[in-house]
Structure 1
Amino acid sequence: MAGRTGRATVFFDIDGTLGWNDPACPEALPEWERGLSPGPSPAVARAIRSLVARGNLAFLCTGRSPHDVHPALRELPFSGMVALSGAYVTLGGEVLRDRPMPGPLVRAADRALARAGFGMVLECVGGKAEVRGGALGPAAAGGALGLDEALAQAGGNEVYKLVLPTAAADLLLADPALGPELAASALELGNSEVGLAGNTKREGVAAVLGRLGERVGETFAFGDSENDLPLFSSVDVRVAMGNATPAVKKRADVVCGSVTDDGVATALARLALA
């Protein structure tokens, strides 16, 4: 594909795409890195810098909060971020989309989960906190926080996403009063994320593309998991990691190397983008 001309706008998932940490072994990381996103390898970092140096635009596109993005990613020349699965979107210093879960909805979900004996993790722009032991639930809670204390710890009163056991997510979505307002995506280790219906990577990318207008050029997306399928539906060229799920690979135009083999770097070179 050598010889590609014109600007490209490229969206990158983080976990399993730009980097990977084993969620089952947090103790393998230094304490300061636990809870943060993975950082990029040196080869991937060089490729991102080369991509932007050639006049292209790069964006992070993640389910994570901005607060949890690794410093090594923050140092790279990304133009902005689609964060919290599309609920919070930035371009430069401008916030393009800010759509938290309404407070009454969060409280109603908390009551339903408490009755069923589930905990949850609150994800906010400024941080996150565990309610009743988080995704592990009350059995792991010890002196676990209630909702109000967790909100204070998370750095604000606006919640954008919940992380909880998949059984708890299914409970919320089956509730006739709550389910129509919510959407869920499966994560690793038997957990799911739950957010406001209409908050997906698709809506977040649409906010970016709408603001860029004619500056967009050809659009690309890199991803590995099923919460990247809305992202794939928003771009011209879809790149699945070698470690991607079968559903993601099926939707891809290109399947590259795995995250552990610097697949992003080799694919950007193959696509004549870096």
Structure 2
Amino acid sequence: MKKPIVFFDIDGTLLNDEKKIPDSTKKAVRLLQEQGIHTAIATGRVPNMFYWIQKELNIDSYVAMNGQYVVFEGKEIYSNPINPEMLQSLTTLTTNNGHALAYCSHLDYKVSKSNHPFIEAGFDSLMMPYPEVDEEYYKHLPIYQGHLYCNRKDAQLYFDQFPEFSFVKWDDNAYDILPKGASKAVGINKMLEILDINQEDSFAFGDGLNDLEMLTMVGTGVAMGNAVPEAKAAANVITTSSSNDGILNGLIQVGLLDKELVLI
């Protein structure tokens, strides 16, 4: 029998309220790896936003930018860049409307405006500095995901005008921009194919709206105690919060870790 695989979201899942990895999570991931269980990250973030997490947890496989870019054991296995002409149209419209974008490549991310309050608020929520500005970044590298920064009322304009995209809210005035049909679940399927692991032997932990497809697609979806109601409804199991040993408790709940072994 093949060993299972566990996918972990980052914000609100691997990271607690202080954007740190709890000691209990570090221990839980290490115990999985000692059993030969595969561990991977599944996130909306750009890879260079979570290198430090990979290093701390000894994880070299990931599904980044909500399934748009997938790496297994350090090697790219799937990528799905956005059409540059569509990005040009988005850029023109947001510029005309006084809104802003972020462009996410596999190497880095840039934003279209300086000193934009919604960009500042979004990156403050991640406890990260304001990104570099380059409104033509999409012309130089493949872009796998965008961010739209505007309020909910104005966002409807983009929902209506760009039906080719999905807009997934991740902060009060910030939305991930993805090709329609893209999700973490798509990227996870690519990794399951590489490993020849059955869907029922896959597990995923998450807390946000961008985790819904992932939580329902894997064999066992685990929602954090701090998850949005939609994620809890989509999951098979609900654990404690990311700041209250949620990863460790969830792995015990689904039978991947032995409670007695954890106490040693």
TM-score (norm 2): 0.84
Query: Could you say which residue in structure 2 is the equivalent of 1:268?
Result: 251
1:119–1:131 Cα contact (<8 Å) kept: yes
> Amino acid of the residue matched to residue 160 of structure 2?
A
Query: Could you say which residue in structure 2 is the equivalent of 1:12?
Result: 8
Q: 1:56 to 1:20 in 2, by over 3 A?
A: same
Query: Could you say which residue in structure 1 is the equivalent of 2:127?
Result: none
Q: What's the CA shift for 1:121? A: 1.7
Query: Could you say which residue in structure 2 is the equivalent of 1:158?
Result: 142
Query: Could you say which residue in structure 2 is the equivalent of 1:95?
Result: 76
Q: Distance in 2 between matches of 1:40 and 1:73?
A: 11
The 5 A counterparts of 1:1-274 are 7-21=3-17, 38-133=19-114, 136=117, 145=133, 147-148=135-136, 150=137, 156-163=140-147, 164-167=149-152, 169-175=155-161, 179-214=162-197, 218-274=201-257
2:166–2:177 Cα contact (<8 Å) kept: yes
Q: Distance in 1 between matches of 2:29 and 2:39?
A: 8
Which stretch shows the higher mean deviation, 76-85 or 125-134? 125-134
SS at match of 1:45: helix
1:120–1:134 Cα contact (<8 Å) kept: no
Q: What's the CA shift for 1:189? A: 2.5
Which stretch shows the higher mean deviation, 199-208 or 156-165? 156-165
Q: What's the CA shift for 1:224? A: 0.6
Unaligned runs of 5+ in 2: 122-131, 258-264
Query: Could you say which residue in structure 2 is the equivalent of 1:29?
Result: none
Q: What's the CA shift for 1:251? A: 1.8
Deviations 1:102-146 (A, max 9, x none): 211111110011111111222221111121237636999xxx945
Q: 1:245 to 1:266 in 2, by over 3 A?
A: same
Q: Distance in 1 between matches of 2:49 and 2:120?
A: 26
Deviations 1:137-156 (A, max 9, x none): 6999xxx94522x458xxx5
> Amino acid of the residue matched to residue 248 of structure 1?
A
Q: Percent identity?
A: 25
Q: Distance in 2 between matches of 1:191 and 1:71?
A: 24
Query: Could you say which residue in structure 1 is the equivalent of 2:128?
Result: none
1:9–1:216 Cα contact (<8 Å) kept: no
2:110–2:134 Cα contact (<8 Å) kept: no
Q: What's the CA shift for 1:269? A: 2.5
1:117–1:137 Cα contact (<8 Å) kept: no
Q: What's the CA shift for 1:190? A: 2.5
Q: What's the CA shift for 1:241? A: 0.5
* Superposed CA RMSD: 2.6
Q: What's the CA shift for 1:57? A: 0.6
Q: What's the CA shift for 1:219? A: 1.1
SS at match of 2:82: coil
Q: 1:91 to 1:135 in 2, by over 3 A?
A: farther
Q: Distance in 1 between matches of 2:168 and 2:113?
A: 21
Q: What's the CA shift for 1:6? A: 6.2
> Amino acid of the residue matched to residue 112 of structure 1?
L
1:166–1:186 Cα contact (<8 Å) kept: no
